[in-house]
Amino acid sequence: MTSATTMAWPAPAVNESPGLPRLLPPGALDLDGHVQAYGALCYSGAPRELIEEIRVAGLTGRGGAGFPAAVKMTAVADRRGRPVVVGNGAEGEPASHKDRHLLWLAPHLVLDGLQLAAEAVGARRAYLYVHGHDWLLRGLGHALAERSAARWDRIAVEIVAAPPRFLAGEESALASRVGGGLALPTFKRPPVFERGVGGAPTLVQNVETLAHMALIARFGAAWFRQVGTAAEPGSMLVTAHRADGDSLVSEVPIGAPLAAVLDLGRQPVQAVLAGGYHGAWIPAAQAAALPLANAALRQAGASLGAGVLAALPADRCGLAETAGVLRYLAAESAGQCGPCLNGLPRIAAAFSALSRPGAGRRYLADLERWSGLVAGRGACHHPDGTVRLVRSALAVFSDELEWHLAGRCTAEPPAGDLGSAGEPGLAAVPFLPLPAGDSGSLMPAPPRHGWR
Amino acid sequence: MAVRLRVNPITCAGHGLCAELLPERVTLDEWHYPVVSGEPVPPELEPLARRAVTDCPALALLLERAR
């Protein structure tokens, strides 16, 4: 797995739609380059004006939940009290690189969006919440200094470092951390938009969502809708892990053929993971015919999530890969809620047992019971997302599961090559990226671009 | 006004008093954490439900309006 993502310019064939990519310049843009590429930042001049344009544009959140951005902004603007705006760039998902990629290449687009969102909801405090990796903090600090020197921003932006944990970007964990507490999910009553950072109404938007806002403010809703589908307009950033081991961040129109984004057909693929580690597996044949849009993915039991896609090569064991991810997810439980604390490690252990040939069928009954016991019983959606992955893996890899129960793994390496774990079916290096013990490895090296 | 029980899963420490007081609405899972029914609490059970809420050692049980 390549750790640093690669970006082509002009972008690959999937980007044949006019004007794409919109968000990803070929190299990191400083403020001058940013103004040349996109034009100057234009404030609307009045609160709420941009919200209407965003509503017409049909922009949805790009952090995973896909909630309509204008609805969220209106809810915050309607509250009494001075709101706070937070750009969420915490990308705890090990398989996702798109947010850090965007923050490196086009920091000013994100920061423009943050200012505009603050103006739209009437906020006087703004934060950018990102993983505290040196190269990223340096780059963003540099960008903020440029804006300060040019008197570009109306309100100051404070950068807050997120710990390198899977759940650090969860909305209530973010509100807690930005407010000076721990980056742990809270019991969201009242919700974050009502009482978030320091008790203020808080607008949390993913950094890619903010970048889209910065462009909608410049070019308008009709321009935004020139790509994408009528129901799901615009473009989106994806992190695509192709079967040949290549990972890349690219910007695609929503509705683009999934097969093109993942370059399916080049080598045998058995299944596609859509939506990341809280997402779902789809059989390869079914995935190859799907457009990259929630309307289609939901019918296949999946969703776009934060744009993470992975094509599992045919010679990998989907059960072993899923087991590795489940062990990671169990370890990433905040450990605050009894059902998640108790259930996730048991689910991961039972799934790991089934991922090895010759496991007993009783583990299946345990898995089903525990999955039912944890779903919907956490303060956040971590148990729900984990169970979604479990259920889709058991369904999509059901044939392989029968082989395992019968004592064989079809992905077993040739005799004598047992992999580092010394167990058949477990490849030396998992296909799906996971941090290697040390949580610092969640953050790879910066994209291969320098400051200009 | 119909009400229903809800548990704050973060503050809940699995004491289990709620399940003893109100087995009609609360059972314990295999790790002794409460599984709370989201059904509205009928008026005849409301006094017991309120007692379960006030007696919870972790103050993790809530009564809220059923939507």
Domain positions in chain A are: 13-224, 318-426
Q: How many domains does chain B have?
A: 1
Tokens of A362: 């009783």
Using CB atoms, pick whichever of B8, B13, B29 lies closest to residue A187. B8
Using CB atoms, pick whichever of B10, B14, B35 lies closest to residue A379. B10
CATH number of A13-224: 3.40.50.11540
Nearest residue in chain B measured CA to CA from A375: B35
Same fold, A13-224 and A318-426: no
CB A401 within 8 A of CB A353: no
Nearest residue in chain B measured CA to CA from A340: B9
Q: What is the distance between the alpha carbons of residues A319 and A404, in angstroms, rounded to a whole number?
A: 9
Asked whether the beta carbons of residue A377 and residue B30 sit closer than 8 angstroms, the reply is no
pLDDT given for residue B52 in this prediction: 96
pLDDT higher than 70, residue A7: no
CATH architecture of A318-426: Up-down Bundle (1.20)
Residue type, A217: A
Tokens of A332: 């990433």
On average, the pLDDT of chain A sits at 90
pLDDT higher than 60, residue A16: no
Q: Which residue has the tokens 């310049």?
A: A25
Asked whether the beta carbons of residue A342 and residue B35 sit closer than 8 angstroms, the reply is no
Confidence of residue A411 (pLDDT cuts 50, 70, 90): confident
Using CB atoms, pick whichever of A337, A342, A373 lies closest to residue B10. A337
DSSP code, position A447: P
**Which letter, b or e, does each residue of A309-324 get, where b requires 16 or more Cβ atoms within 10 Å of its Cβ?**
bbbbbeebbbbbbbbb
Contact residues of B toward A, CB < 8 A: 8-14, 29-33, 35
Quote the domain boundaries for residue B33. Answer: 3-65
The alpha-carbon gap from B35 to the nearest alpha carbon of chain A, in Å, equals 8
The alpha-carbon gap from B52 to the nearest alpha carbon of chain A, in Å, equals 19
| Maximum distance among all Cα pairs of chain B, rounded to whole angstroms | 33
CB A139 within 8 A of CB A104: yes
Best to test chain A binding among B6, B12, B65 (most A CBs inside 10 Å): B12
Nearest residue in chain A measured CA to CA from B9: A337
Which whole number is the average pLDDT over B62-66?
Answer: 89
Instruction: Please tell me whether the peptide bond between A447 and the residue prior to it is cis, using omega within 30 degrees of 0.
Output: no
**pTM (two decimals):** 0.91
The alpha-carbon gap from A215 to the nearest alpha carbon of chain B, in Å, equals 39
CB B34 within 8 A of CB B19: yes
Q: Say which CATH number the domain at B48 has.
A: 3.30.70.20
Q: What is the distance between the alpha carbons of residues A439 and A424, in angstroms, rounded to a whole number?
A: 27
Confidence of residue B67 (pLDDT cuts 50, 70, 90): low
Which whole number is the average pLDDT over A272-297?
Answer: 97
